[in-house]
Amino acid sequence: MVADQHGYIYDLLIKLGFTDFGARTGEFLLVRPLKIVFILGVAMVVSRLAARAIRRFVRSLKSRSPLRATSLRADQRATTLGDVLASVTRMLIMAVAILMVLGQLGLDLAPLLAGAGIAGIAIGFGAQSLVKDFVSGFFIIVEDQFGVGDVVDLDGTTGTVEELTMRVTRVRSVDGTVWFVPNGELRRVGNTSMEWSRALIDVLIAYDNDVSAVTELIKDEALRFAEDPDWEERVLEPPEVWGVQAMGSEGVTIRLVVKTAPREQYNVARELRGRISARMRREGVRGPGQTVLVTAGTLDQGAPPPPPPEDDV
């Protein structure tokens, strides 16, 4: 049987004439409190340093995305996430410190740690997808890939983000369907609401229109729309007519683009389509299906038709 290991205080008390029980008691009352205080003090210092390091790490991750580095929402999210992770880290460090304190009090921690290890392994195998979702959600929030209110395309699921957590993203599509997408399943994200949006308006006209004249008409109407007091705050830059976008069996397609505030591209596009349509009707621009049929011939249109051939006698 291995003899118990004692320190200087125990040996000193034995030499001073204390019994083994008295020396043990004295060592327990003098040394153990100092060790406990030391453990708790070190844990507090380490937890503060770790929390500060985590906050800096989160801020560094956010700053690696230059397009979103100046986003107020990104700053707020990074701060919130850094605080949450720092709190979790402090809790873990204090939990370890408490276990060490219990060990100083003489409690046998081996069965507890063994049971916790087995449980941790079992949970780890069973919750791999859950851990994957949380890690992906962490980077989505830190990098501010999208947020509540953004219109996104999540691998074919398109709609407005209603809720974003560390594990799942809730999206409502245009028809009202609510989709719950695990963050770990996202491989590609399209965000149409990041910083600014763009309205695309394709105007289809008949072939017998003057394309240059119609292009100027569309541009003029779009510029008037951009100067409208009710809409000028939603239009970030003067509209641009990119010209002929396509030529098909129905006619010529002219594309107009407008840079808008986030999530305003659909409202702007709907309003502009209505205004351009009304303007084209006033100006007599023909759309698809309204082409004037012209029949070509070799005879003078003002000459009378030739007489029918005479019958042979």
Residue 65: inside a domain:
yes
For range 143-147, the mean pLDDT: 80
* Structure confidence at residue 295 as a pLDDT band (50, 70, 90): very low
Domain co-membership, 185 together with 209? no
Domain co-membership, 260 together with 177? no
Residue 156 structure tokens: 């074919």
**Comparison of pLDDT for 5 and 110, the residue scoring more:** 110
- Provide the CATH number for the domain around residue 159: 2.30.30.60
For range 41-56, the mean pLDDT: 88
* Residues of the chain above pLDDT 90, percent: 22
Residue 310 above 60 pLDDT?
Answer: no
Residue type, 178: V
Provide the mean pLDDT of the chain.
Answer: 79
Residue 313: inside a domain:
no
Nearest to 222 by CA among 259, 182, 261, 252: 259
**Comparison of pLDDT for 135 and 219, the residue scoring more:** 219
Q: Which range marks the domain in which residue 27 is found?
A: 8-107
32 alpha carbon, distance to own chain's centre: 51
Nearest to 243 by CA among 263, 265, 218: 218
Among 154, 176, 191, the domain-final residue is: 191
Nearest to 153 by CA among 197, 199, 188, 200: 188
pLDDT digits (tens, 9 = 90+) for 241-263: 998 998 988 889 999 999 998 88
Residue 140 above 80 pLDDT?
Answer: yes
The number of domains in the chain is: 3
**Comparison of pLDDT for 10 and 170, the residue scoring more:** 170
Domain co-membership, 240 together with 261? yes
For range 271-285, the mean pLDDT: 92
Domain co-membership, 184 together with 206? no
Residue 120 above 80 pLDDT?
Answer: no
Domain co-membership, 157 together with 217? no
Residue 70 structure tokens: 């100046």
pLDDT at 56: 84
Pair 290, 281: CB distance under 8 Å: no
Domain co-membership, 163 together with 244? no
